[in-house]
Chain A
Amino acid sequence: MMGFLCRLFVSGVFVSAGLLKLRDPEAFAFAVDAYRLTPWVVSAVLALYLPCVEVLAGVALWLRPLRHGALTILLLLSLAFLGVLASALARGLPIRCGCLGPGFIPGGLWGSIGLDLVLLTGILFLLARHLSEFSRPTRVQRSVLFQ
């Protein structure tokens, strides 16, 4: 039950964030560009590509064979977002996160970092559960072991 709720939360946030950004990719490209980490061409390509990755990985969380791969991608995305947000804070950039497209996250960049940390915790929890399931012997392995 806990795993289901956690997956629902993580998947829901990433899928809705991706869809919100895809409604207006140009606005998201400007949001990415405002971080001043990438040239315009890279910001524009990222603005088209990242939301698609978010939506696909969020949906793939519900497909068992793809779950581990999706969790790995979401983990790397969350870590990258955390790094980018921290660098914006460190440089004192007066910008909005852009994490949910036109959606508003209270608390500015700090609020966005908080949301990212909550997501990161959820992803790590799901990853730990998934890995523990993997380390358990399968039914076939058990039958071989106890023969």
Chain B
Amino acid sequence: MRRGSRWMGAAAGILLLAALPAAFCGWLHPQAPRIPMAQRTQIGVASALNLAGALWVDARPQAEFDGGHVPKAVALPAGAWDTQIDAFLDLWQPGAPIVVYCSSKDCDAAELVAQRLMRELGADTRVYILRGGWEAWLTQ
């Protein structure tokens, strides 16, 4: 019984101790994930259409993309990043602005994809989130 409580104590001790370096890492690590994720600049449909040479990125699941999307948009759902990123890179001209959208104003997929694009392409890349997402595009 005493041995049982001793190893439970050891396991709990290791789990508690791990919180310390994790907290330091979150605080000091230059590559620590941002919590909450920093908000990207939002852009309306009309302004987005005026962006010269912008590449539109659809962050919705593939099935929704297949059901309809912004003309010339490229599908890049967060869950299929590894398989879709090459198609995106084939179309994107370095320096060109990127407009990311998901299904509506309540979805967070566009934010996630935008965050990752900024990270992979450089913090100075112009990445915008389409305000209202696909719903806003349909009602324009």
Interface residues of A (CB under 8 A from B): 22-27, 29-30, 33-34, 36, 40-41, 43-45, 47-49, 51-53, 56-57, 60, 65-66, 68-70, 72-73, 93-96, 134
Contact = CB atoms under 8 A, between A and B. Distances in A.
Contact of B18 (A30, A43, A56): A56
7 contacts: A26-B31, A26-B33, A51-B22, A68-B10, A69-B9, A72-B11, A95-B82
Interface string B17-33: 11111110110010111
A33 B80 CA distance: 11
Contact of B31 (A25, A33, A57, A94): A25
Contacts of A49: 18-19, 22
Given A52-B18, A56-B14, A41 B35 contact: yes
Contacts of B34: 26, 44
B14 A36 contact: no
Given A26-B34, A73-B14, A73-B15, 20 more contacts: A25-B26, A25-B33, A26-B32, A30-B78, A30-B116, A34-B81, A40-B36, A40-B108, A45-B35, A47-B33, A48-B32, A49-B18, A53-B15, A66-B13, A68-B11, A69-B8, A69-B14, A70-B11, A94-B82, A95-B80
Contacts of A96: 82
Choose among B8, B15, B18, B25 the residue with the greatest number of A CB atoms under 10 Å from its CB: B18
A106 to B, nearest CB: 15
B40 to A, nearest CB: 14
A70 B10 contact: yes
Interface of B: 3, 6-15, 17-23, 25-26, 29, 31-37, 78-83, 108, 112, 116, 119
Contacts of A44: 33-35, 37
Nearest to A65: B10
A40 B113 CA distance: 12
A69 B11 contact: yes
Contacts of A60: 10, 14
8 tightest A-B CB contacts, nearest first = A69-B10, A69-B11, A68-B7, A29-B33, A44-B33, A52-B18, A53-B18, A49-B22
Contacts of B8: 69
Nearest to A54: B18
A70 B14 contact: yes
A95 B79 contact: yes
Contacts of B26: 25, 45, 48
Nearest to B35: A44
